[in-house]
Amino acid sequence: MSLQPVILSGGSGTRLWPASRETYPKQLLALVEKDTLLQATARRLDGLPMTVAKPIVVTNEEYRFIIAEQLRQCGLSGGAIVLEPIGRNTAPAMELAALAARHGGEDPVLLVMPSDHVIRDAAAFRKALEEGYALANDGALVTFGIVPDRPETGYGYLRIGGPFGRAATARGLAAFVEKPDAERAAHYVASGEYLWNSGLFMMKASVWQRALARFNPGMSAACAKAVDLAKKDLDFVRVDREAFAACPSDSIDYAVMEKIGQAPELGAAVVVPLSAGWSDVGAWDALWQVCDKDEAGNVARGEALLEDTQDSLVFAESRVVATLGIKDTIVVETPDAVLVAHKDHTQDVKKIVNRIKASGRPLAQSHRKVYRPWGWYDSIDMGERFQVKRIVVNPGAKLSLQMHHHRAEHWIVVSGTAEVTNGDNVLLLSENQSTYIPLGTTHRLANPGKVPLEIIEVQSGSYLGEDDIVRFEDTYGRTK
């Protein structure tokens, strides 16, 4: 029986602002290694002895193209990318994946993984998975509990029971426990009877579906209808919006795992302890904890110059960042925002994000550099009635055929070859050549070459927002 990885990739990672934004969250960032967290999640199953299928990713419309591209880059494209029209928590997401996995009559063991976790010891992780796989094959509902190395108030806990059968390390699952206060967390760790709740699950697809249908028949029915009415779009499976909107919202824990003891005939709830350098990277201090450090306890990324600096993290994305005489500090620099915080206060970054949202500024939603299915653009300057963008179009890619009501555009080719549709005219432009797109003119930019096309776009007009786009035709199926 094969193992079917299921990667849940819908979170926004608010506490890792300004690197993580709503339209480009932490799972899409390379925070620890050269791989992004999503890519590392998909890759860490390499070396397992059983057959491992291409991952099913459950995400939303906003992240679909960059997820497809990142999976392609690491050689793991080809699985389903299931698009949730609205968020309904992890239990419906797992049910959508189970339905996709059983298409064609298969009944694989599902391994459900959040896309934004770090696991430093891949060998220990795979060893735990092998034990969990054997249990899941026998009909158990398996979760993985992180062996705690400190009292932690930011995580939920699992209370474990006695040894489970003849399994090497597995224990019965006694209870899920909410995030404790500091005193209770210390008691949990000292007792040895509690593990951190990792959010990792493993079980046969059919076992999950029977349990969900028993405890949450409305959720099971809504997901089934949403998939029955789904549409295939390029690499994506678009579940039906109206049917999925009727689905209750709940987590895997609450929807099934906490209730499974009420119906033992459905399978046993089992915990496999995991000690593999795990972190959910929920805030900047957590990233500092899992990264390799220099002799002064510092973590540095990018052009960081550290002098008389201790136990700090300096994340420099676009320019030189120098620190002097600081300790226990987080410094995160991006092209459009800088965060400086004491390590003890990184959980409060969300307060800053909420203030930015309340002000109406886009800094919480998007980066200055924005990825699109055809490439990316960087808004390098803007002012009253003008904006300047650097645009890179991938070889063979093209933007939508479009027009604007409120702006005109000048395009200057920096490198590569541009095929430009400008009204009724189609022309080829090479390096240092340019064209002007009048307001209200139908136009399109394409790269017919084999190397990236780079242009500078100068917009001018009374309104320069991204929503001033009327699309007439689009290779990627976008309507807005």
pLDDT tens digit string along 241-250? 999 999 999 9
Instruction: Give the CB-side neighbour count of residue 399, counting CA atoms within 13 A.
Output: 25
Peptide bond just before 273 cis, omega within 30 deg: no
pLDDT score for 407: 97
The residue ranges of every structural domain in the chain are 3-279, 284-359, 369-473
Residue 102's identity, in one-letter code, is R
What integer pLDDT is reported at residue 376 of this predicted model?
95
The pLDDT assigned to 233 comes to: 83
436 CB burial (10 A radius; 0-12, 13-18, 19+): exposed
Between CA 274 and CA 217 the distance in angstroms is 32
Residue 169: what pLDDT? 93
Alpha carbon distance 170, 135 (integer Å) = 9
190 three-class SS: helix
Whole-angstrom Cα distance, residue 55 to residue 254? 25
pLDDT tens-digit readout, 37-90: 999 999 999 999 999 999 999 999 889 999 999 999 999 988 999 999 999 999
Calpha distance 173→167 (Å, rounded):
14
Contacts of range 238-244, beta carbons closer than 8 Å, 24 or more positions apart: 238/83, 238/85, 239/82, 239/83, 239/84, 239/85, 239/96, 240/85, 241/85, 241/86, 244/84, 244/85, 244/86, 244/88, 244/92
Q: What is the pLDDT of residue 278?
A: 96
338 contacts 322 by C-beta, under 8 angstroms: no
**What are the average pLDDT values for consecutive 10-residue runs of the chain, which has 480 residues?**
93 90 94 95 95 96 91 91 95 97 92 96 96 96 96 94 88 94 95 96 98 97 97 90 96 95 93 96 95 97 97 97 98 97 95 95 91 93 95 97 97 98 97 97 97 98 93 86
Residue 122 region, left (φ>0) first, then alpha (ψ -120 to 50), else beta? Answer: alpha
Q: Which CATH superfamily is domain 369-473 in?
A: Jelly Rolls (2.60.120.10)
CA dihedral 357, 362, 366, 369 (to 10 degrees): -150
CATH of domain 3-279: 3.90.550.10
Number of Cβ within a 10 Å radius of residue 371: 17
Q: Supply the pLDDT for residue 235.
A: 80
3-class secondary-structure state, position 130: helix
Cα(310)–Cα(313) distance, integer angstroms: 9
SS3 percent helix, strand, coil of the chain, rounded to 5, is 30, 35, 35
What is the phi/psi pair of residue 165, to 5°?
55, -135
CA 271 vs. chain centroid, Å, equals: 25
Helix, strand or coil for residue 67? helix
Q: What pLDDT is stored for residue 10 in this prediction?
A: 85
pLDDT in the model for residue 336: 94
- Count the helices and strands in the chain (H runs, E runs): 11, 30
Within 10 A of 245 (CB to CB), how many other CB atoms are there?
A: 12
Per-residue pLDDT at 77: 87
Paired tokens of 63: 């992240």
* DSSP alpha helix (H) spans, 216-292: 217-228, 241-245, 252-255, 284-290
